Amino acid sequence: MSDTTEAASQTLAEQLLEAIEQNDGEAMAILVNDMPAPDFAEFVREQALDLSHKLLSFLAIEQRARVFGYFQPEDQKALAEQMPQATLAELLTHMNSDERADLFNQLADNLKAQVMRLLAHNEREDLRLLASYAEGTAGALMSSDYVAVPARSTVAQAFEIIRATAPSAETVYDIYCIDHMGRLVGTVSLRQLILARKEARLEKVMATEVVTATVDEAQETVANLIAHYDLLALPIIDLGGRLVGIVTYDDAMDVAEQEATEDIHRGASVQPLDRGLSTSSLFAVYKSRVVWLVLLVFGNIFSGAGIAHFEDTIAAQVALVFFLPLLIGSGGNAGSQAATLIVRGLATGEVRMRDWFRLFGREVLIAAALGLTMALAIAPIGAIRGGEIIAMTVGLTMVTVVIFGSLAGLSLPFLLRRIGWDPATASAPLVTTLIDACGVLIYFGIATALLNLPAAT
Amino acid sequence: MSDTTEAASQTLAEQLLEAIEQNDGEAMAILVNDMPAPDFAEFVREQALDLSHKLLSFLAIEQRARVFGYFQPEDQKALAEQMPQATLAELLTHMNSDERADLFNQLADNLKAQVMRLLAHNEREDLRLLASYAEGTAGALMSSDYVAVPARSTVAQAFEIIRATAPSAETVYDIYCIDHMGRLVGTVSLRQLILARKEARLEKVMATEVVTATVDEAQETVANLIAHYDLLALPIIDLGGRLVGIVTYDDAMDVAEQEATEDIHRGASVQPLDRGLSTSSLFAVYKSRVVWLVLLVFGNIFSGAGIAHFEDTIAAQVALVFFLPLLIGSGGNAGSQAATLIVRGLATGEVRMRDWFRLFGREVLIAAALGLTMALAIAPIGAIRGGEIIAMTVGLTMVTVVIFGSLAGLSLPFLLRRIGWDPATASAPLVTTLIDACGVLIYFGIATALLNLPAAT
């Protein structure tokens, strides 16, 4: 039961807190080793640095390296910089190759150089390579801890290699078959190997149609490939077709979460943050928000100019002002809804560029129904505040702005992608601002016509 | 190379289209069998039903069942209902147990009964059980195709069971150890088994601290557990602790994507759709959007009432109207940004309830900096349009509404969770509407004071 599991972990955390309070080293050692690595990492995150070092010291180096992989980057860095260099080098040696490279990339330059000197040749070369790929690429995401077997091996030979590699490999369930140049020529699953004859050669058993990505592929594409083909791991190759790493499904899940977060932030006109909200610097949060806020201020000037333009109309019929925010707001809200549905659909691949025409047709009907519903809701209030004509003006405007707003909101993401921009730029605030300005013109245009008011000058 | 892979699939799809055009059955058969199942499923989705049936008929039943699992629910249903019942029963028999139950649940009641009769006893019972769990629970998500081995078996015995089960199991990489009552008592990975002595008993090798979920657990929790503990599969148990199914990581990835979509929709005041945007009925899309739109109309009445209340202020200084949309809009935009950052942080677990106070303190500083930047951007325009005092009024209002909007936007999701609501209810349109109304009061309040205007009546 997850309830039980969570409750059990809760209790472990509580027991550990108690042991810390009583300075009971023996109890601490037992509890720390009982806690699952992700839970222990979360626990340590809440503690002071000194205590964190002490708690980590209760773990064997392999487990300590595992826990370290679950820390937030900034916590990793803080802990690493306080360690004796030899301890840090030992930790790096035992970490997964991809997590090792991530940690290494965060260290200060002089510390990097010093630690490098303390590593064994193999680790040093591996680290140098993995740390060299640009953030956000398959190369930066991949691990070099995979099982590669010559395609000419027999199944029995493959099992020997797997047994020898199993303790350090990220996964032993997909086995990569390579030729004498190190090029990936096929894959075979451990499941297939278990069912195969011991003397069969891998090249007879392996699948040769392999989904792969190159080291410079975007991490988002890598995550999408893993999700689309339900892969356990995606092999990563260099430009010469040589196998250089794998990205496992759990890393793909992390990337997918990170990409969803970025899309959600963009949807509110926030530019992606490099770190979590809690750990980003104040300036980083400021920077991620200020650009769009200022741009939108200038966008809103058009609405203001529109209202100012209809000054005489407003003066002649002040009741109109009462309905201004709700009419232009409704257009903006309906538009954000439509834009958000499309932006997400394009992101998941459920909506494609060629769907625009069909979805536009559907949206005409949906938006008309929405506009009519909202007009019916608000018209009685219009009648009470200003009589029949005001009710008619408000109702007609509502239908018009909701249809206009919805169609504009639906089309904007398609338009943005067509010109090569990220459709997620069509954020709710941007859509609202654009539609607000048009809503002002629609409202006062209809009012001027219906109420026989003096036209704007 | 993924480029190559995609290009190759592209070519396969193109070649298949060509073969269809030339009615070349032999070429069709080869191409259909070469295409990866998810790609073929996507290809079929674009074709007419008749052609879909024909293309599927080129596949062996096992592969056909696999491809069927990748179809959209509505396509599955359309294809299934046109099949002879015996063919449908054969297809169901070969599908993964979780996908089988999903398809079965979509069939019309009379077809369900007829197909049930054609299934073998085991499949019938399995289907009856899996199809009985409520949508959105672990039970509805789980598969019964797992490998369970008595905990008292030896490693060698376990391997025999694994070999016998391998062809139909969803995964053979996590093996579940059960007692004589069918209760889950431990797990062992295939990796461990490969390294273990053949004569060792599983109960000596297995891990006994197992993360599990019960059948009635929410699918979101299941997906989170799999992501948090980096599991390949999560065992699902009934209330008696008996193992009844597993949820695999690829299903967890699908759930995570679906949950992110729901959160993104909620962020634009759209209630979750059961299906994709393209395939939902017009009425379903209407329904998902109308409730909040109408509620927000009434929310916006407060802004309108606020403006109407300050009628005399506006009449005395009409230049104020020009700045109205951009000032209250800016408060709303800054507020949506803050709310969105918190809602997503709470969803991923990066932000916790107890972080409110600390984040509130940070937000005061960030919002003040944002407000000052925006005030500096807009004050010159205030000076040009209405002189120094207007510039001061506009600048001061900007700083105030941005700080107020940001703090309100940041606090609302915390408040909603505190009272037991989904924090994602704090959508951009809702936050904007709430802050707009307050922005009107702040603006005209400051204007009345600074410009020495007649107070509102």
CATH number for the domain spanning B248: value is 3.10.580.10
Burial of B108 (0-12, 13-18, 19+ CB in 10 A): exposed
Q: Do residues B32 and B166 both lie within one domain?
A: no
**Which residue, A238, A265, A292, sits at the end of a domain?**
A265
Which residues are registered as beta bridge partners of B183? B242
**Which residue, A232, A265, A298, sits at the end of a domain?**
A265
Residue A192 lies in a domain: yes
Q: Do residues A292 and A435 both lie within one domain?
A: yes
Q: Do residues B128 and B184 both lie within one domain?
A: no
Q: Do residues A12 and A112 both lie within one domain?
A: yes
Number of C-beta neighbours around residue A37 at 10 A: 18
Question: Would the CB atoms of A265 and B341 count as touching at under 8 Å?
Answer: yes
How far apart are the C-alpha atoms of B344 and A264, rounded to whole Å?
Answer: 7
CB of B274 within 8 A of CB of B280?
A: yes
- pLDDT of B2 reads 41
How far apart are the C-alpha atoms of B31 and A260, rounded to whole Å?
Answer: 35
Cα distance from A127 to chain B (closest Cα, Å)?
23
Cα distance from A117 to chain B (closest Cα, Å)?
33
How far apart are the C-alpha atoms of A196 and A189, rounded to whole Å?
Answer: 11
Question: Would the CB atoms of B5 and A290 count as touching at under 8 Å?
Answer: no
- pLDDT of A349 reads 81
Residue A307 lies in a domain: yes
Give, for all 457 residues of chain B, the pLDDT tens digit: 344 444 555 578 888 888 888 888 888 888 888 888 888 888 888 888 888 888 888 888 888 898 988 888 888 888 888 888 888 999 999 998 888 988 898 888 888 888 888 888 888 888 888 888 998 899 999 999 999 999 999 999 999 999 998 888 889 999 999 999 999 999 999 999 999 999 999 999 999 889 999 999 999 999 999 998 999 999 999 999 999 999 999 999 989 888 889 988 888 888 888 777 877 888 999 999 998 889 898 888 888 888 888 877 777 777 788 888 889 889 999 999 999 999 999 888 888 888 899 999 999 999 999 999 999 999 898 888 878 888 999 999 999 999 999 999 999 999 999 998 888 888 888 898 899 889 999 999 998 888 876 555 5
- pLDDT of A1 reads 39
First to last CA, chain A: 72
Residue B401 lies in a domain: yes
What chain A residue is nearest to B242 in terms of C-alpha separation? A1
For an interface test with B, give the residue of A282, A322, A343, A427 to mutate (most B CBs within 10 A).
Answer: A322
**Which residue, B260, B295, B325, sits at the end of a domain?**
B260
Name the E strands within B142-193: 148-150, 174-178, 184-189
Of residues A260, A434, A440, the one with CA closest to residue A335? A434
How far apart are the C-alpha atoms of A423 and A79, rounded to whole Å?
Answer: 40
How far apart are the C-alpha atoms of A70 and A56, rounded to whole Å?
Answer: 13
Cα distance from B110 to chain A (closest Cα, Å)?
32
Which residues are registered as beta bridge partners of A187? A176, A207
Cα distance from A57 to chain B (closest Cα, Å)?
22
Using an 8 Å CB-CB cutoff, list chain B residues near A340. Answer: 264-265, 267-268, 270
What chain A residue is nearest to B45 in terms of C-alpha separation? A350
Q: Do residues B330 and B205 both lie within one domain?
A: no
CB of A360 within 8 A of CB of A399?
A: no
**Residue whose structure tokens are 């006109």:** A269
Q: Do residues A299 and A447 both lie within one domain?
A: yes
Q: Which CATH number goes with the domain that contains B29? A: 1.25.60.10
Using an 8 Å CB-CB cutoff, list chain A residues near B278. Answer: 345, 350-351, 355, 358-359
Identify the three-state secondary structure at position B1.
coil
Residue ranges in chain A modelled with pLDDT below 50 = 1-6
Cα distance from B81 to chain A (closest Cα, Å)?
24
Residue A29 lies in a domain: yes
Q: Do residues A112 and A159 both lie within one domain?
A: no
Edge-first strand order for the sheet with B174-178 is B148-150, B174-178, B184-189
Question: Would the CB atoms of B269 and A330 count as touching at under 8 Å?
Answer: no
Q: Do residues A301 and A237 both lie within one domain?
A: no
Candidate from A1, A260, A337 with C-beta closest to B212: A1
Q: Do residues A102 and A46 both lie within one domain?
A: yes
Candidate from B3, B5, B334 with C-beta closest to A293: B334
Candidate from A300, A325, A342 with C-beta closest to B307: A325
Cα distance from A364 to chain B (closest Cα, Å)?
10
For an interface test with B, give the residue of A40, A232, A337 to mutate (most B CBs within 10 A).
Answer: A337
Question: Would the CB atoms of B350 and A282 count as touching at under 8 Å?
Answer: no
Candidate from B34, B277, B365 with C-beta closest to A282: B365
Candidate from A289, A333, A366 with C-beta closest to B282: A366
Residue B396 lies in a domain: yes
Q: Which CATH number goes with the domain that contains A354? A: 1.10.357.20
Using an 8 Å CB-CB cutoff, list chain B residues near A278. Answer: 345, 350-351, 355, 358-359
Residue B153 lies in a domain: yes
Candidate from A167, A249, A378 with C-beta closest to B249: A249
Of residues A214, A400, A1, the one with CA closest to residue B244? A1
Using an 8 Å CB-CB cutoff, list chain A residues near B397. Answer: none
- pLDDT of A456 reads 54
Using an 8 Å CB-CB cutoff, list chain B residues near A341. Answer: 265, 268, 270, 277, 285
Residue B268 has which token pair? Answer: 């634009």
Cα distance from A88 to chain B (closest Cα, Å)?
25
Using an 8 Å CB-CB cutoff, list chain B residues near A184. Answer: none
- pLDDT of B317 reads 78
Q: Which residues, at least 6 apart from A270, have a Cβ–Cβ distance to it below 8 Å? A: A288, A289, A292, B337, B340, B341
Q: Do residues B357 and B445 both lie within one domain?
A: yes
Domain that holds residue A170: 148-265
Question: Would the CB atoms of A336 and B212 count as touching at under 8 Å?
Answer: no
- pLDDT of A4 reads 45
Give the total number of structural domains in chain B: 3
Q: Do residues B417 and B311 both lie within one domain?
A: yes
One-letter-per-residue 3-state SS of chain A: CHHHHHHHHHHHHHHHHHHHHCCCHHHHHHHHHHCCHHHHHHHHHCCCHHHHHHHHHCCCHHHHHHHHHCCCHHHHHHHHHHCCHHHHHHHHHHCCHHHHHHHHHHCCHHHHHHHHHHCCHHHHHHHHHHCCCCCCEHHHHCECCCCEEECCCEHHHHHHHHHHHCCCCCCCCEEEEECCCCEEEEEEEHHHHHHCCCCCEHHHHCECCCCCEECCCEHHHHHHHHHHCCCCEEEEECCCCEEEEEEEHHHHHHHHHHHHHHHHHHCCCCCCCCCCCCCCCHHHHHHHHHHHHHHHHHHHHHHHHHHHHCHHHHHHCCHHHHHHHHHHHHHHHHHHHHHHHHHHHHHHCCCCHHHHHHHHHHHHHHHHHHHHHHHHHHHHHHHHHHCHHHHHHHHHHHHHHHHHHHHHHHHHHHHHHHCCCCHHHCCHHHHHHHHHHHHHHHHHHHHHHHHCCCCCC
Using an 8 Å CB-CB cutoff, list chain B residues near A405. Answer: none
What chain B residue is nearest to A336 in terms of C-alpha separation? B268
Cα distance from A134 to chain B (closest Cα, Å)?
18
CB of A50 within 8 A of CB of A23?
A: no
Residue A142 lies in a domain: no
Please give the DSSP secondary-structure letter assigned to residue B455.
P
Question: Would the CB atoms of A1 and B370 count as touching at under 8 Å?
Answer: no
Pairing of strands B213-214, B233-237: parallel
Using an 8 Å CB-CB cutoff, list chain B residues near A374. Answer: 290, 293-294, 297
Q: Do residues A223 and A118 both lie within one domain?
A: no
Pairing of strands B243-248, B233-237: antiparallel
Using an 8 Å CB-CB cutoff, list chain B residues near A315. Answer: 315
CA B67 from chain center: how many Å?
23
Distances (CA, A) of B147 to A25, A60, A175, B164, B235: 41, 32, 21, 10, 11
- pLDDT of B187 reads 95
Residue A257 lies in a domain: yes
Of residues B179, B180, B177, B140, the one with CA closest to residue B162? B177
Instruction: Measure the CA dihedral B273/B279/B280/B282, to 10°.
Output: 140
